[in-house]
Structure 1
Amino acid sequence: MVHEIILTPLTDSTNKRQSINNNNITDKPTQINSLSSGATTYDSDSDGESVRIREVAHENSNNNNKTNFRFKENFFSDTTNSTKPSNSSAVWQYAVRDDNPNYSICCLCPDNKRISTHNGSTTTLRKHLILKHNKADLVLSHIKRQRKKTLLNPIKKQELHSMFVNCIIRDGRTFNDLEKAGMKKVLQLLIPDYEPPNRYVVARQLKQLDVFHHKQLIEQLTSVDNISLTMDLWSNRQMRCFLVITGHYFIGNKFDLQSTVLSFCTFNKQHTGVEISRTLQDKLKELNISQKVVAVTCDGGKNMIRAIDDLDLNVKRVWCIAHRLHLTITNGFGLWIVKKQTDEEKLIEENDNTNDQEDEEDVSYIEEFENNNEMDITGGLELDDESMDTNRAAEEEEELISDAVDDEITDSWTEDVNESDIDIGYAQEIIVCLMRKCRGLTSMIKRSTIITMFFDKERKAQNIKRNLCRDVKSRWNSSYSMIDSFLCLREPIEKLFDYKHQLHLQPKQLTKLSSFELSSNDWMTLSHLNLVLRPFFHATKAMSGRRYPSMGIAFYLLTRLKYFLQHHDKKEGLIVKHFKQLLMEKFSYYFENNDQQMSLLKVYAYFDPAGFVTLSDVEKRSVEQTIKIMATDETFPSTEATTTSQPSFLTMITNNTTNKSSLSEKPNISAIDLFNDAIGDATYEGSAPNKNKKASIVDDIYNYRNCVTRFNLKHKPDVSSSIKFWQTFGLQFTILGKIAQKMLITPSTS
């Protein structure tokens, strides 16, 4: 690499002065009086001549790794033009970049010293050249620095910086968005003299925010007694693996559920239970909550199960109920069974491998197709962006489900999905063929330009905001969304097949499109599938909330789903009954074969009014025995009844009676009163408890039954039932309330 250094004009053009100049190359320049003033003194010549010295900056020898720097030649020049790029810093006249982009090599140091240029910053390198080598020409002039100063108040500038950094975080923008020409022009017009933060400033701010919020999270968790975790491990399309750990907890005695992401990190290790467990333990130790974790909700992956079992923290592992429902539906209906194809059926699968050549052929027919008078495909397709209603656009964005499955992920939810066609039933075979048709048609419409234009025209002509979407193997509800979108867009789909011969498609494309045509029986089957899957879709949404305890409502929903599958309406067809039977078999397999998890689920459901009402009397008594054992095994900080706590239902009645009697005259002492005074007061149900008496878990359970029964008479089962109940009656139950805080923080889905 060759660098050029323009030296000061010479005072003479003789050979003597040329020799002096050559000697000055290796000597230090004249020391300036003050570097901060920016004034540099040079000896200049009246004729304005300048000398240009060309140096070789970096040569690699084949025999060794040493870097040699040498000056090649001096020559005079009559011009002052420089070949250095205008956007290049002057420090690179004396240094070269190292192989490591965060460092550079000083060409003037005999030992080739490496100087830090982290994130492209040349400040350290500039200071080194000025202080060590007296390169006064690198001192930034006072005028240049003054031009960069803004007239904004420093406090206002900092507020704007913070606001723009938060904007980048909230909207997921790239770090250099504010440096782009269009954005800079707008900012200069709105906020003159303001220089927005560049990507290096944003990166530093993010690191500072990460440290700040991490410390803040640790301080916040110090006041938390119990915390429940959810874990998820997945990979994106680029096969980058991520691990997210979310914490769920109550703060203080308030039954206000908080959900916080404790860790979101890349996972560049093998997905084994040992590695996951080790990473989880490290994250918990960083936050000082290892001894506060009471339960972990995760999917049924073998590595996840092993990771939780290896924690040795006496932590309960809880099902992800959404994952169990996913396996129930995908394997019950055989949504992803790969059936051996005949020669005729291979046409359906070929659509997944549609080559780009056919798409290019579509484009060649667009002009001819648009000019067809019989089929004006361009009519009504042009949209006026300025006249589009903002609210309507927002509604369309919410209702388009197709975009939700574009970011396909890979996780353990795909591991136990059955793909074998062994012992496949007749009903499953119908579903498999129908799903392959729907997936193939969706892909073909999105890949063919002509078909897409025709389909969008018909869809918008009928004012249908939905669009077709394809399902993914990792989420069963995407299959429901695909089925529902087909039923919503039935009329445009049927028109597509009616006019398929007028679309000027290639023969191969026309044959392929015809193989995806849905018959009347296919549409009826889609309608039946939609009917059976709709309750599961809404149940999954209800139990996946993060702002309310979901374990109790999940048990209520499972009970209702089981009732739905077991009972048949008189108007139901045979195919619907058969679909329900398929799901009921898998429902029993995935939910009722594990007694330990079902018993644990019933304990969680007991503390939710919605779950309590679905438990039988036998199940309630069994859960109450478990609660009594939990109360005796654990030590609670405040197990004594105090005057500050809210009284129970029976206590309030007794207190009211006592207050009324105190206002009246003292009654005459009867014989029975004297008897009681002689042997001591009798303890009986309904009497006011002693203030110093330990609260009994039996009393709490009795009062809880009364309160939750009265609550359910006034409120229908809802996702917010548990929060409403415990915020109203929570302080009445000294021991049961503490146990409820442990149980209600555990979510039903991961």
Structure 2
Amino acid sequence: MSADDSNKIQPSISGSAYLWDYMTKLKDKAKCNICSTTLSRKNGTTSGLRKHLHQMHKLPYFGVKSKKVDIKPHQFSSDERKKLDSLIINAIVEDGRSFGDMRKPGIFKVFNHLAPGYSPPHRNSVQRRLKRLQSEQKLILTKDLSKIQSLGITCDFWTDKRLYSYLCLTGHYITSNYQFVSKILSFSWFHHRHSSTNISMVIKKELKELNVLEKTRSITTDGAANMAKIGETLNGGTEQIYCVAHRLHLVVCNGLGLWVRKQKTLYSSNNDAISKIDIIEDDSDEEDFTDDVQFISQPSSITTSSSSLESLNNSSDVPYELLSINPDNNVSINENLMDDELDNFSNDIIDNWSIDVIEDLDTSSGETVQLHIGNLMKKCRSMVKLINKSSILTNYVVKLKQQFNIHHSLQLDCKNRWNSSHQLIEVMLMYKKIINKIHSEKRDINLNKKQMNKLSSIELDQFDWKMLELLDFVLKPFVQATKLLNGTPYPTIGISYFAIVQIRDFLEDSNTVDDDDWKILFNFKVLLLNQLEKYFFGKDEQWQLMKSHAYFDPIGYGCLTRREKRAVESHIFESHEQHIIEEMVDEQEVNETQSKSSVKRKCESSKASTMTKFLNSVGKKSASSSMSLTTTNKNTLGEEIATYRTLAQREYNSIVDGDKDPDVMQFWQSHQIELQHLSKIAASYLSTPAISVTSEYAFSTASYLLRKQRSHLTPINLSHSMFLKDKLYTNFNA
């Protein structure tokens, strides 16, 4: 086809239909029928083809037609445009919007109406400005941190769906007027191996850039092996605290065996030698339990896990082995770095919380309680999956929920959040009538043979329901303790220490249930108490650190014995006496300088001046007697400690009696004047967080930012967005 002939062709329809009168489709390209030029059409785009026909062959029908805007554009000054750009970029960060959101057609029409002639920044401009904004906010953060005396940090890892790892550092400090401040110090893409050396190197680098390495008093981490010695590598005065919430998670999961799996023993003969092989019970259960006629994918938040769905043998008799217990836990620890059993509680959060959860139970040790609990939890998980895989069962359950006025939904638990297992137990008890009705009417609701067999294998007998009730009872204090820590504006070590001590008292109390159930409940309590001893009381260094920090919180102070209080007070005098002397030396140098200036202006005299006599008469010491302040300050600190004992005990009694809620910041703010020296010491201790809840909040926010619609967000841009999130959004910590 010649160019002259092509000009005679008049396309009869609009769109791309007549484009192929001039082009021939190839695989990922197109060939021009006029000049035989081969052009790329990657991803199916035709814009390059149209451009070629319009520019090279002068075909007007393929030119870009611009629509005229009737609204007269407003002329924006440079400052006005910068202000609008800044507001839009801040809005994108605060709201977690896509970088190109403001240029979408609907929002663009709003801008055209409100500010004709203004065009929001392109997504590439947003990315460039994001990096600049991150640098600006880091300088502001460095300036703010230069005013503080001590800093507590938390450190945790998060892995996104794409398996990119991020290290989150959060900083916590107390201002001069006792306001608690929490900031994300760093949210960085961690592409190194997760070794202690690499982690420590990155943390030190971040702290040095903010000029707070020497001010860092403590670091709160989980108890993973690669985190165990991080505190020692930062600087000599940094104390390491293990996250209390993570420890409670291990106490519950490993104490009760919520995720244990029975080992099967096989015997193999090789050259007449018989050897025993222990293998882990297969928990995969990939069988299809959907309906024969149809399958309706449920928009449920339940994500199927790889935990056991294998057929479990029913036991109608009470297993008397449950009444005997061996406190020794001969179990092996799962070392997998990632949990495959994620549901809506953690499908976007992959962390270290599942690493030390015990899965493999050695039955030769005689331990049967954990095995029975593990099998019971498998039955519950299998029931949830079976219902959600079958549209018949789902619709049947929906009708029964209305009949029995139940509003909660069945959801699977996950290995890295123990409270999800308690929620599963709690909801199973709510569904008891529904589940029993399903079993009694299973032949009348059109289930297939496979589903019928599965239902029979996971049917809960009377003893199973009794165990669920007792598990719910024994876990209630742990649930309330978790809510207490997460619901507190600032969860100090003092309130954590109080919760642990109260849980220990509950587990040691044997007068909490009926006589018929006391043996089973006693075994549950012993299992939990053993793990509490292992993860808290058995670690003497950590427990002593918790006591010393708990002393400065009235709710923790009230739980300490008289001897423990005196030990902490003795440590306070020893560790802070040098600090007091240094302050006095500084004051002396100032006084001496002032005295010398005064001498230069006056003639020397052997007699004291009138001003000196007056100052001595009102108790003001001159520079020459300033060295005697050491004893005076020490006495003052001792007097303040005596006053604090009374005030803290009174505050503790008011909290325990329910007259007020615990608020340690309000307490020290109220008594800051009368406890002038002790309040400064307390601020450095209280800046240490007990749990890494701020990091968990950051991970939840990061998983939202990296939602399906923003799956192409780069690790660098995600890191910048997370760092800026709490700098621009004032309610981040709320």
* TM-score normalised over the length of structure 2: 0.66
Structure 2 unaligned runs (5+)? 4-33, 41-51, 267-278, 299-341, 588-618, 620-627, 693-734
Are the structure 2 counterparts of residues 289 and 76 from structure 1 closer, same or farther at C-alpha, using a change threshold of 3 Å?
A: closer
Matches within 5 A, 1:195-214: 195-214=119-138
> Match of 2:644, as an amino acid?
Y
Compare 455-464 and 508-517 and name the one that shifted more: 455-464
SS at match of 1:245: strand
CA deviation digits over 1:230-257, x for unaligned, max 9?
Answer: 1111323432212111111012x22111
CA deviation digits over 1:662-696, x for unaligned, max 9?
Answer: xxxxxxxxxxxxxxxxxx9xxxxxxxx99994353
SS at match of 2:187: strand
> Match of 2:378, as an amino acid?
R
Matches within 5 A, 1:666-685: none
Structure 1 residue 336: Cα displacement: 1.1
> Match of 2:522, as an amino acid?
K
Q: How many residues align?
A: 548
The answer (yes or no) to whether the contact 1:480–1:530 under 8 Å persists in 2 is yes
Return the match for 1:558 from 500, 512, 521: 500
Matches within 5 A, 1:17-416: 80-81=58-59, 86=64, 149-150=73-74, 161-184=85-108, 195-251=119-175, 253-340=176-263, 352-355=285-288, 358=290, 361-363=293-295, 404-407=344-347, 409-416=349-356
Work out which structure has the larger RCO, using CA pairs closer than 8 Å and 6 or more positions apart in sequence. 2
Are the structure 2 counterparts of residues 456 and 160 from structure 1 closer, same or farther at C-alpha, using a change threshold of 3 Å?
A: farther
Tell me whether 1:513 sits opposite 2:436 in the alignment.
Answer: no
Are the structure 2 counterparts of residues 443 and 232 from structure 1 closer, same or farther at C-alpha, using a change threshold of 3 Å?
A: same
Structure 1 residue 431: Cα displacement: 0.8
Q: Which residue matches 1:432? A: 374
CA deviation digits over 1:128-151, x for unaligned, max 9?
Answer: xxxxxxxxxxxxx9x989999557
Distance in 2 (alpha carbons) for counterparts of 1:272 and 1:85: 59
Q: Which residue matches 2:633? A: 694
CA deviation digits over 1:614-668, x for unaligned, max 9?
Answer: 11111111111111111124347756999xxxxxxxxxxxxxxxxxxxxxxxxxx
Are the structure 2 counterparts of residues 694 and 529 from structure 1 closer, same or farther at C-alpha, using a change threshold of 3 Å?
A: same
The answer (yes or no) to whether the contact 1:228–1:296 under 8 Å persists in 2 is yes
Are the structure 2 counterparts of residues 479 and 327 from structure 1 closer, same or farther at C-alpha, using a change threshold of 3 Å?
A: same
Distance in 2 (alpha carbons) for counterparts of 1:78 and 1:209: 44
Are the structure 2 counterparts of residues 350 and 284 from structure 1 closer, same or farther at C-alpha, using a change threshold of 3 Å?
A: closer
> Match of 1:547, as an amino acid?
P
Which is higher, the Rg of structure 1 or of structure 2?
Answer: 1
The answer (yes or no) to whether the contact 2:474–2:521 under 8 Å persists in 1 is yes
Are the structure 2 counterparts of residues 459 and 209 from structure 1 closer, same or farther at C-alpha, using a change threshold of 3 Å?
A: farther
Structure 1 residue 456: Cα displacement: 3.2
Are the structure 2 counterparts of residues 351 and 451 from structure 1 closer, same or farther at C-alpha, using a change threshold of 3 Å?
A: farther
Distance in 1 (alpha carbons) for counterparts of 2:232 and 2:37: 66
Distance in 1 (alpha carbons) for counterparts of 2:106 and 2:390: 34
Return the match for 1:419 from 341, 359, 368: 359
The answer (yes or no) to whether the contact 2:655–2:662 under 8 Å persists in 1 is no
Compare 178-187 and 549-558 and name the one that shifted more: 178-187
SS at match of 2:464: helix
Distance in 1 (alpha carbons) for counterparts of 2:153 and 2:231: 11
Distance in 1 (alpha carbons) for counterparts of 2:491 and 2:80: 43
The answer (yes or no) to whether the contact 2:291–2:448 under 8 Å persists in 1 is no
Are the structure 2 counterparts of residues 439 and 235 from structure 1 closer, same or farther at C-alpha, using a change threshold of 3 Å?
A: same
Q: Which residue matches 2:409? A: 467
The answer (yes or no) to whether the contact 2:89–2:126 under 8 Å persists in 1 is yes
Q: Which residue matches 2:652? A: 712
Are the structure 2 counterparts of residues 584 and 460 from structure 1 closer, same or farther at C-alpha, using a change threshold of 3 Å?
A: same
Structure 1 residue 302: Cα displacement: 1.3
The answer (yes or no) to whether the contact 1:641–1:691 under 8 Å persists in 2 is no
Tell me whether 1:484 sits opposite 2:416 in the alignment.
Answer: no
Are the structure 2 counterparts of residues 77 and 489 from structure 1 closer, same or farther at C-alpha, using a change threshold of 3 Å?
A: closer
The answer (yes or no) to whether the contact 1:352–1:443 under 8 Å persists in 2 is no
Structure 1 residue 519: Cα displacement: 2.4
Return the match for 1:614 from 559, 564, 568: 559
Structure 1 residue 338: Cα displacement: 1.1
Matches within 5 A, 1:518-529: 518-529=460-471
The answer (yes or no) to whether the contact 2:392–2:445 under 8 Å persists in 1 is yes
Structure 1 residue 720: Cα displacement: 3.0
Q: Which residue matches 1:730? A: 672
SS at match of 1:339: strand
Are the structure 2 counterparts of residues 316 and 449 from structure 1 closer, same or farther at C-alpha, using a change threshold of 3 Å?
A: same
The answer (yes or no) to whether the contact 1:241–1:266 under 8 Å persists in 2 is yes
Tell me whether 1:740 sits opposite 2:682 in the alignment.
Answer: yes
Distance in 1 (alpha carbons) for counterparts of 2:662 and 2:166: 32
The answer (yes or no) to whether the contact 1:408–1:472 under 8 Å persists in 2 is no
Distance in 2 (alpha carbons) for counterparts of 1:320 and 1:431: 26
SS at match of 2:262: coil
Return the match for 2:398 from 449, 456, 464: 456
Structure 1 unaligned runs (5+)? 5-51, 59-73, 88-140, 367-401, 643-679, 681-688
Distance in 2 (alpha carbons) for counterparts of 1:54 and 1:228: 70
Distance in 2 (alpha carbons) for counterparts of 1:204 and 1:456: 51
SS at match of 1:634: helix
> Match of 2:683, as an amino acid?
Q
Distance in 1 (alpha carbons) for counterparts of 2:102 and 2:392: 39
Distance in 2 (alpha carbons) for counterparts of 1:148 and 1:464: 59
The answer (yes or no) to whether the contact 1:362–1:505 under 8 Å persists in 2 is no
CA deviation digits over 1:20-52, x for unaligned, max 9?
Answer: xxxxxxxxxxxxxxxxxxxxxxxxxxxxxxxx9
Structure 1 residue 196: Cα displacement: 4.3
The answer (yes or no) to whether the contact 2:655–2:661 under 8 Å persists in 1 is no
Structure 1 residue 416: Cα displacement: 1.9
Distance in 2 (alpha carbons) for counterparts of 1:190 and 1:512: 62
> Match of 2:554, as an amino acid?
P
Are the structure 2 counterparts of residues 548 and 78 from structure 1 closer, same or farther at C-alpha, using a change threshold of 3 Å?
A: closer
Identity %: 32
CA deviation digits over 1:55-111, x for unaligned, max 9?
Answer: 7899xxxxxxxxxxxxxxx99999841686749xxxxxxxxxxxxxxxxxxxxxxxx
SS at match of 2:173: strand
Q: Which residue matches 2:547? A: 602
SS at match of 1:264: strand
SS at match of 1:255: coil
* TM-score normalised over the length of structure 1: 0.65
Return the match for 2:475 from 533, 540, 543: 533
> Match of 2:562, as an amino acid?
D
Structure 1 residue 364: Cα displacement: 8.4
Structure 1 residue 546: Cα displacement: 6.8
